[in-house]
Amino acid sequence: MFLPEDFAALYAIEQVCFPPTDQFSRSYMRRLIGQPQAATWIAEEGEKVVGFGLVEWTRNEAGVRAYVQTLEVLPEVRGRGVGGELLGRLEGSVRAADASLIWLHVDAENVSAIGVYEKHAYQAQGIEPDYYGPGRAAVIYRKTIPLAPRSKVK
């Protein structure tokens, strides 16, 4: 789980994983991480932070819905299951918040990320043209989250 002293390492990963035009600003990323209805998980190899994921959720009359703001893994450790592990942690956090649905946007050309989501039972729900800028579409993925069983009190 994220600790405040991890922020610099997370932002450094943001700068490696996305071009400047697609990066969160530091202040926006701090706000996302600091929300009470959000969870940030980090992945480490030894003492080095190699990835992180950030999810937030909202509650309304339809229930709790979660949105994966970002899932980032350093290029040199991709393909080792880090993204899938982080995704599982994010799902655990939203399950604990009683979310019944988790969704996200992914660059339509990011084949490796799409593979991670599809491997974890996310289903494509549509395309959002120009989401990442002119000519760069996003695929919208979602997954139904089974609610955690409640223990019965007698």
Q: Where are the alpha helices (DSSP H) in the chain?
A: 7-17, 26-34, 82-96, 111-119
Percentage of the residues of the chain whose pLDDT score is greater than 70: 94
| Reported confidence tier of residue 21, pLDDT bands at 50, 70, 90 | confident
Write the CB contacts of 42 (distance below 8 Å, at least 6 apart in sequence): 1, 2, 6, 9, 10, 49, 51, 52
Residue-level pLDDT at 94: 95
pTM for the model: 0.90
**R_g (Cα) of the chain, nearest Å:** 16
The pLDDT, as a whole number, for residue 148 is: 61
Q: Which tens digit of pLDDT belongs to each residue from 48-107?
A: 999 999 999 999 888 899 999 999 999 999 999 999 999 999 999 999 999 999 999 999
